[in-house]
Structure formats: structure tokens, C-alpha cells
Amino acid sequence: MGDEVNEFEKKLSDFFSRPVICLSNGTAALQLGLQGIGIKQGDEVLVPSLTYAASFQAISAIGAKPIACDIDSENFLIDIHDAQKRITLNTKAVMPVHYTGGADNLDDIYYFAKKNKLRVIEDAAHAFGTVYNDRKIGSFGDVICFSFDGIKNITSGEGGCIVTDDVEVLQKARDARLLGIEKDTEKRYSGERSWDFDINFQGWRYHMSNIMAAIGIVQLSRFSEFAKKRQKFAKLYDSLLKNHSSIKIIPRDYNTVVPHIYVIRILGLRNRQHIEQSMLNKGIQIGYHYQPNHWTSFYKNTKTLPLPVTDSIANEILTLPLHPDLNESDIRFIVSELNKEFI
């Protein structure tokens, strides 16, 4: 970690108009973000079950408890009325996930958090570049975490970052990513090394390497090109699918949302594996984002309130291909082949 990481952080800070700390991946960003706001053993964090395992693992990695919440059946984002019912004396934070890139309910989430005295740590891994109420996700709010994994809106091969104004979170994350070695970030950025140093807390080897940052810098410079394509393809999918009798699209405004994935809901779907295989035979890879976390052995909790919306939606969702190397005729081909599955 040195010059390239320093440079990538500066460029990201310009992008968000706020301080940024780069880390080895998005999961590390979530973990250090949680630790930065003081989440510890026994604390509870509200999080939608319909998310990548990383959101849950980042919470349990520090001994805290992820509390699986249900989602809104229209926008697939955390349902705060459901979340409200799961609050206990141990609840310390809420982690909204900007599923597919949308964050429609963010004002409500901040209102809910304020009312219940909770911190907000946004899992914005899907939402790099999304604009909410005329402001970029990350440019406002409490603690916002992004991923630069290979398939995200921009990539550094592997990487992630925290965006926040909270000086304590920033300083803790700077030290924690370099094994807790005090002020090692500052030394490395000025070309020095730390030989004599102090350690005040448990750290991790979660820094970003220069090689990853160098890739990230070039990707960031190409972001608007990638974003336009993702938005154009999602709009085209919407227009081709919106009148389909058994397919429901997730309503998102792709003039402001930069979609990471394109998810549809097929009402009454029971044979996803069959469709997956049949589409694969035509060269089209279908995905599934995600199997709910509360269905897994590690996070299953039979004593909690049920999650009826997540349980039914999770059986009916499919992810269609979406990335900048596609073109419009690919999208039309994918939809026409998908339509044949319904004959």
C-alpha cells in the first residue's frame, strides 16, 4: 500500500466530496465500518435477509448478531415496519442494502434510525454511482460501504471502500487495515515505513494493494461509460418485459439508478433450475441473487418472527445478464429466448 492507493482514495474523495478509506474488499469495508461505529460482541444489527452473505458475515465476524429483516414486496429493500418489530435493547445499527442499485427508501431509513437511536451503515455494494434525491449515494449519510469486486459497477480486481465524515471511523479504519499499527497509513503515504510503533487494538490485514488501486483508478475514469451502458440495458429490459403477464420487473428509475444486477420476479415460479439449465444451453447465464441468509444453517433462527415476503420472493427471482460488454441485440436475444420458456 502506497502512492496508488493514496491516489485512488483522492480520486474517490473527489467523486463523493468526502473522505474515503480503501480496503481489500467490500466485506472488509463493512466489518471495519461496523467496528468504527463501535459495534461489538452481543450487539444486534438489522439487515435484510435478501443480500449477499457478505453483509451477514461482516456483522458476525465481530461477534455481533445480524437480525434478518423482511423486504418490501415492491422495491425489494428492507421493510422498516418489519425491522421496527425486531428492535431490542441490544439493537445498535441498521444496515440497508441498496439491492440491484436502488435506494428508494433511504430518507425513511434515516428517519427510522434517528427515531430509534441507531447508526446506519449502508451496504452500497450494488449502488456505486446511483443518485438519490440529486445526491450520489455515499456523498451523504452515516457510513457507506462499496465493493470493487470483479463484477461490480467499477472494479479494482478486488477491493472496497468506506465513505464517511466520521473522523473516529476514518482513523480507526486507517489503523485497523494495517494490523492496528498506529499511523502506518500516514507513514506509507509519505514513503516511510513504521519500525517503532504502537498498537492499541486488534487490527486486520485489510489494506488495498497498489496493484488493485491502479486498476481502480483507470476504472473510475471510465465510470460514466460503464454507467450509461448499464442504464441503457436495464431500460431496454424494462421496456421488453414490462407488459409480460407472468413477469414482474422491479420499478427503478434508471436515469438515476446505476444497476449492478437486473433482477426479475416470475410469479409462481417453481422450476428456476430448469429455466437456468435451458437458458444455459442457449449460451445465456442466469443468476439468483440471493438465497436468503436466514435459510442457511449458520444464520437460521427458528425463534424469530417469520419473513413471509422474502420467503416467497426468493423462490421467484431470476437475474438476467447485465454488464458493459453486452449490446442491445444481446438483450433482445436474451428476452426472446426467455419468452420461449413460457410457451
Ligand X SMILES: *Cc1c(COP(=O)(O)O)cnc(C)c1O
Applying CB under 6 A, the residues found at the interface with ligand X are: 25-27, 51-52, 54-55, 97, 123, 125-126, 147, 149, 160
Nearer to ligand X, 51 or 231 (CB): 51
β-partners of residue 274 are none
Q: To 10 degrees, what angle do helices 272-281 and 328-340 make? A: 130
CB of 71: closest distance to ligand X in angstroms? 13
Report how far residue 311's alpha carbon sits from residue 213's, in angstroms, rounded to the nearest whole number. Answer: 39
Residue nearest to ligand X (CB): 26
Q: How far apart are CA 152 and CA 289, in angstroms?
A: 14
Nearer to ligand X, 100 or 185 (CB): 100
The sheet carrying 143-147 orders its strands as 20-23, 160-164, 143-147, 119-123, 91-94, 44-48, 65-69
> Residue 25 Cβ, how far from ligand X at the closest point, in Å?
4
Instruction: At 243, list the grid cell.
Output: 407488459
Q: What is the DSSP letter of 165?
A: S
Q: Which is nearer to ligand X, 25 or 240 (CB)?
A: 25
Min dist CB 126 to ligand X, Å, is 6
Q: Which is nearer to ligand X, 101 or 338 (CB)?
A: 101
Min dist. Cβ of residue 106 to ligand X (A):
15
Identity of the residue, 28 or 338, whose beta carbon is nearer to ligand X in the bound complex: 28
CB 85, CB 305: distance < 8 Å: yes
Q: Rounded to the nearest whole angstrom, what is the least distance from the CB of residue 38 to ligand X in the complex? A: 21
For 177, other C-beta atoms within 10 Å of its C-beta total: 27
Nearer to ligand X, 70 or 182 (CB): 70
Buried b / exposed e over 196-230, threshold 16 CB at 10 Å, is eeeeeeebbebbbbbebbbbbbebbeeeeebbebb
Q: Are 258 and 127 in contact (CB under 8 A)?
A: yes
Residue 181, beta-bridge partner list: 199
Answer for the pair 33, 169: CB distance below 8 angstroms, yes or no.
yes
Distance in Å, CB of 270 to ligand X, minimum: 26
Task: State the minimum distance, in angstroms, from the CB of residue 23 to ligand X.
Answer: 9
Q: What is the DSSP letter of 50?
A: S
